[in-house]
Chain A
Amino acid sequence: MDLVRDVLDKQVIDREQVKIGKVDGLVAELRPGKPPRIVAIELGSIALARRLGARPGRWMAGLSARLGGKRHSEPHRIAWNKVRDIGIDIEVDIDVRETAIFCWQNWLRDHVVSRIPGAG
């Protein structure tokens, strides 16, 4: 399987079929004498910014840490062994509510969207 072609930038859904983001980055382990092995997928703005270059990556990491605290200073990682299915979407065996991936959406919901009438 060609990982960059078949995994990177695909839609990720959690075990409840919630769209939680795209595969924004791949984490590989380099092993001497053997081909590298994928150990995790990365999601979120820091992983994306790093693809544009080292400097945008540092800026985004600094910005996220300032806005969201220390646990947002690194990209969100999902271990490769949590990947259950690679099809149109990539299904991972996690529940997004137990991660920090949707912190900003939750903040937006609680502080902005819910305060507007008719938000449901």
Chain B
Amino acid sequence: MKKVLEISLGVVTSVGGFLEVGSLTTAVQAGAAFHFQLIWAIVLGTICIVFLVEMAGRFAAVSHHTIADGIRERFGFNAFLWPLLAVLLVNLLVMSAEIGGVAIALELATGIGFHWWALLVALLAWVFLWKGTFGFIEKGVSMLGLVTLCFVVGAVMLKPGWGQVAAGAILTVPDHDATNYWFMAVSILGASISPYLFMFYSSGAIEDRWDESYLGANRAIAAMGMSFGGTISVSVLIVAALVLAPHRIDQVYDYHQLPLILFPIFGFWGFVLFIASLGIACFGAVLEVGLQQAYLVAQGFGWTWGEDQKPRDNPGFSTVYTVALFLSALPIAAGVDPLKLTIFSMALTAASLPLSVIPFLFLMNDKRYVGKHRNGMISNAAVIFVIALGFVLAIVTIPLQIFGGT
């Protein structure tokens, strides 16, 4: 009974925490520009994150190491520096984008420009981390994130052709805007497979003192939580495709267009629901990425870490998230367009994945860490395939996107 409760709680928190500024905006843009044609990218990204999250939990439960601990121990400090720096940088950008998401929600709600909100949002997130406990942040905030399920309700109410939706889940070559298509596919992959997600999950498993008895629960939480989460992303794409196409909006380059997508379904409440979803989902992500920055540095250098201790007993750890939050708020406060920043950081995430995922896969195949719970062929192959696809697409399309390809 206790396990069932724990599994449901885990699934609920994964679902509530799934949607964030990256998955939301990439899904809206993809739906507007290519109708259902990019659903496959969400499906592929979701399958990959299911595998990675399951591995992260299994690794922590069996080896009692976090991923950062494991990579440093197995490959040495010099090799560890590369994934460390790459993930810190990507997280910094992603956290900026998430702060931007909350700031846009506040601008849409109040009419006061987003850049005025950036430092306030960072300050509020900091208060949560400074005073909160891990359980409060992980469970409380992601419960609120369940408001994002309104997109699923919206998608069903729009009665899409489910045959077309299913057809979109199959990889197809576009008949127009090929560069843009593949770039969006990369951004979607990067938004679905965030390193902070699975690294955070391994730290959480250690904070919650998981052991091998949690392996079943871990599998259930990863599979259900992440695939329900992916369902929300697909719903956002469906809603965007069906709502924006009749208005001949095929490019969403201005975030003021975003709240329109729920308006035709729920009327004024659609506007409110959109703002609440955007604000809460992104705020939850700010907290998670902020914590992950501190986890990563503290675990990499062997300091005391843990969100349940008072900042006084944990000065190094609490200083890292304080500095990280402040730095991430700066670009938004300076007026960088959150939408552009989001798309760019998601593509960069996809490009950076091999640096964090490949060493992790080595750990998952190393008997000294996971014993008989080593990876099977299928999970190795699935993750390598998606990571390689994301990497190649990112390397090809990011320069084209920046230097004005069409």
Residues of B within 8 A of A (CB): 63-65, 69, 72-73, 76-78, 80-81, 127, 130-131, 301-305, 310-313, 315-316, 318-319
Is the contact region of chain A dominated by helix, strand, or loop, or is it mixed? Answer: mixed
The residue on B at minimum CB distance from A8 is B76
CA distance A20 to B69 in the complex (A): 14
A98-118: which have CB < 8 Å to B?
104-106, 108-109, 112-114, 116, 118
Question: Residue A11 at the B interface, CB < 8 A?
Answer: yes
Contact check, B303 vs A105: say whether CB atoms are below 8 A apart.
yes
Q: How far is the CB of A29 from chain B (nearest CB, A)?
A: 22
Contact check, A19 vs B76: say whether CB atoms are below 8 A apart.
no
**Residues A113 and B312 in contact in the complex (CB < 8 Å), given A21-B302, A21-B303, A108-B319:** yes
Question: Residue A46 at the B interface, CB < 8 A?
Answer: no
A9-39: which have CB < 8 Å to B?
9-12, 18-22, 24
Q: How far is the CB of B56 from chain A (nearest CB, A)?
A: 17
Contact check, B72 vs A22: say whether CB atoms are below 8 A apart.
yes
CA distance A40 to B77 in the complex (A): 18
Contact check, A113 vs B315: say whether CB atoms are below 8 A apart.
yes
Question: Residue A78 at the B interface, CB < 8 A?
Answer: no
Within 8 Å by CB of B315, from A9, A112, A118, lies: A112
A78-96: which have CB < 8 Å to B?
88
Q: How far is the CB of A16 from chain B (nearest CB, A)?
A: 11
Contact check, A113 vs B319: say whether CB atoms are below 8 A apart.
yes
CA distance A108 to B63 in the complex (A): 32
CA distance A29 to B284 in the complex (A): 52
Contact check, B64 vs A105: say whether CB atoms are below 8 A apart.
no
How big is chain A's contact interface, by range? 20 to 34
Contact check, A108 vs B313: say whether CB atoms are below 8 A apart.
no
User: For residue B73, which residues in chain A have a CB less than 8 angstroms away from its CB?
Assistant: 9-11
Question: Residue A58 at the B interface, CB < 8 A?
Answer: no
Question: Residue A120 at the B interface, CB < 8 A?
Answer: yes
CA distance A14 to B69 in the complex (A): 17
Contact check, A120 vs B76: say whether CB atoms are below 8 A apart.
no
CA distance A10 to B302 in the complex (A): 8
Question: Residue A48 at the B interface, CB < 8 A?
Answer: yes
- A–B pairs, 30, beta carbons within 8 Å: A8-B76, A9-B72, A11-B73, A11-B302, A19-B304, A21-B303, A22-B72, A22-B302, A24-B77, A51-B77, A51-B78, A52-B81, A88-B64, A88-B65, A104-B316, A109-B312, A112-B315, A112-B319, A113-B311, A113-B315, A116-B130, A118-B130, A118-B131, A118-B311, A119-B130, A119-B312, A119-B318, A120-B310, A120-B311, A120-B312
CA distance A18 to B304 in the complex (A): 7
CA distance A19 to B316 in the complex (A): 12
**Residues A20 and B302 in contact in the complex (CB < 8 Å), given A52-B78, A88-B65:** yes
Given contacts A109-B312, A113-B319, A116-B311, 13 further A-B contacts (CB under 8 A): A9-B77, A11-B302, A18-B304, A19-B305, A21-B302, A22-B302, A24-B77, A43-B302, A51-B77, A52-B81, A112-B319, A118-B130, A120-B310
